[in-house]
Each structure stands twice: as C-alpha cells, then as structure tokens.
Amino acid sequence: MIALRRQVALALTALLAGGAACQAQMRDEPRPPGPSARPGRPAPPALAPGFTLVASGAVLPDGAAVDRARFDARGTGHDFRPMLAGSQGAVYTADLALCHLETVRGARPGTGGRPAFESPPELAEALVATGYDSCSTASDHATDSGPAAIRRTLDAMDRAALRHTGTARTEAEAHTPTILRAGPAKVAQLAYTDATDALRMPPGQPWAVDLIDENRVLADARAARQAGADVVVVSLHWGTEGQAAPDRRQLALAERLTAARTGGRPDIDLVLGTGAHVPQAYEKVNGTWVAYGLGDQITGTPPDDRNVRNRGGNESTLGRFTFTPPTRPGGRWEVTRAEFVPQMYDLDAGRVVDLGQAIAGGADLTGVRDEIRGTVLARGAARDGLLMGR
C-alpha cells in the first residue's frame, strides 16, 4: 500500500514547477529500505536491515495559510505542496514518516482559523506528496466541527492513501491498531489527546477520539504488539500551550509509560509529543526516547488564552530515529541514532524552512536555530547521543 502511495505521491509532486519537478525526476524509482546514496556520492556501507523514522509537529494551518495555498494553486483549489517543500528532503528519505494533523476537513471548499480549524481536502494530498505515510489525528481540535468533520477528515485521508490514528468513524476502527511497514519492520502508531477543548465527544460515540488514559495507552500498546508490531510509537497531544519546558504531567506520564514492560521488553518504543505549539525538550527516559513537543510545522501562531501570540509558535523540529533489529529473538528494536532537525514556518512567505539548509544557504537564521537547539537539549539529551541533523 505504501509503495503504491509513493507512486501517487510522485505523480502529484511532478506537478510542481521548477525545483520540485527536478526532485520528482530524481525519484523515478521507489526508494529502497534504509539509507540511500545522494547523487555524486558513493553508496553508504551495508548496514543491518533496520529503518529510519521521521516525525514532524502539528500541521495546523490558519486562514492565512489556507489563503496562501489557494494562491499557490493559481486559482484551482488549494495547493499546500509548495508550503511543505522545505521539509520534503528530510521526510521523503525516511523509511517511515509520521505527522500530526491538527485540523479537520471542512464542509466548505476552504476555511481556516479559530474557533474551529478546518482545512481543504488537498492538505492530505500535499502531505502524501511530501512523503508522509501516516498522521495522528487526536487533538483538542478533533471535535471542532462535530462527528461529520471526523468522517470527512478520515475519508479525505483514505482517498489520498494517508494512514491515520487517533480518531475514528466506527467503534471497530477505534479499536484497530494502525500498523505500518518500515523496511523489514512493522510499526504501530497510536495517538491520544489530553482533551477536546470545551466541546463534548459526539453523543453515543465515546470512541470517536482517543483520550489520554495511562491504562488505555498501555493496553493498546500491548495489543498492537500482539497484533505483530515490532515497534510501538505513541503520539501524545499534551502539554501546556506556549511553554517550552515540559510540565509535571508530561514528565510523570512519560516516566510511567516508558517504565512499563511485558516479559522484560518495553511496551512502548518511542513517544512523540505535540500540543504545546512550541518546541520542547527531547529526553531518553528509562531507555526510551521521548520528544515532549515537536512544535508546529504549519501554523498561524494562534494566540493563547490571554490573546498573546506564543513565542516560538512558528518553530518546530523533525525527529529522526534510526532503529536496528534485536540481537536476540524477542528482543527490542533499538534506536541507534537519534536526531532532531530544526525548522520554522515563515509566516510571511507561507513556507516551511529547514533551518540547517537555510543557514547553509546564507540566510540569517542562526539565532532561531540556536534557540531551538537549546530548548531541545535542555534536559541533557546530548549526553544520550541526540544530534542536530539536516
């Protein structure tokens, strides 16, 4: 399924003008599992048959971002692909790419902004063209426009061949784990949110949005393992909005979730956080990497409850984790390389900017990059080997 979707993504990407078209020509063949050589460079040495996973922060376009996508479409629908092109290099080269879609498919052609975040269906197509395989959808905005919007959102993702987890159209779907192929491994992605703002869950559908409950998360992780998952990834929409430091609830829950084991093997292999809308620290807890907050990949830096715009609200990171297979039967797939890639969303241009690439190209963004790096490393992740990647 992912291979077929990659071919669809190539066709969509080829429609972009200029540089994006050149990138599409470079990917005429599906990428092989594991690292691949860049043009003009020797192939990397053969490695154990592992995989690389990339994860991004929230995709939460406001009205201005939707208007920009309409402009980029040149009068025909909406085109979010140019907006995301800055992250495509890092996303597309991963064996598995995950995002967090914090908006619902609107009933009208194009809407966006508070109090209900809604986006056109072309957003899902753009995420696929960028290289994403699956998105978590559990967030405080999941019920913004009622149960019909959940169905519209997941239907649009299905049509684009973009997998999803965290919200559901039926009770059966809610209890079926999303299991993805990443090279030789099967990866389960689970997703939960702390709340759904002030809106209630759809009447008679308590399963429509997965809420954070420690026992439920662990039970689902164990069920996913029993269903064949080699690696279990948990996406959590949590944290205090606008706060760069993880709060006490995040720290306590991360400690308990990563400590849980079955038969001596951790129940969860990676925790990916969103919800604070700013970058937060990465940390290795009980031997498991936790990214407390990836930040927002696409945003309008919406104001907080005091109507003050969040500092860093247009900054984010891509987490990149290289997994290698266990050395003994029944063992754990280990993260042997952990990286973060600093990014920002240029509010004026309506573009995601890879800060490593931009700085190499001469843009004066070193202050933003260094601010993100300081935040990400604030809890000592460098001592456990976390690197800043490009």
Q: Which of 236, 238, 56 is nearest to 130 (CA)?
A: 56
Where are the chain's structural domains?
Answer: 48-388
Beta partners for residue 324, in sequence order: 334
Q: State phi, psi for 11 to the nearest 5 degrees.
A: -65, -40
- pLDDT, one tens digit per residue, over 115-126 is 456 778 899 999
- pLDDT for res 346: 93
Q: What is the pLDDT along the chain (390 residues), one digit of tens a residue?
A: 444 444 434 343 443 334 433 333 333 333 333 333 334 445 544 455 899 999 999 998 888 888 899 999 998 899 999 999 999 999 999 999 999 998 876 555 445 544 456 778 899 999 999 999 999 999 988 887 788 889 999 999 999 999 999 999 999 999 999 999 999 999 999 999 998 765 667 788 899 999 999 999 999 999 999 999 999 999 999 999 999 999 999 999 999 999 999 999 999 999 999 999 999 999 999 999 999 999 999 987 554 555 445 567 899 999 999 999 999 888 999 999 999 999 999 999 999 999 988 787 777 899 999 999 999 999 999 999 999 998
Unique residue bearing structure tokens 């003009």: 40
How far apart CA 233 and CA 388 sit, in angstroms, is 21
- pLDDT for res 369: 95
3-state secondary structure of 139: coil
Prediction pTM value: 0.85
Unique residue bearing structure tokens 């309506």: 350
Give the CATH class of 48-388.
alpha beta
Non-local (6+) Cβ contacts of 74 within 8 A are none
With contact defined as beta carbons under 8 Å apart, do 292 and 245 qualify? no
Give the torsion sign (CA, 272, 276, 279, 285): negative
- pLDDT for res 199: 60
Q: Which of 310, 280, 284, 305 is nearest to 295 (CA)?
A: 280
How far apart CA 60 and CA 137 sit, in angstroms, is 11
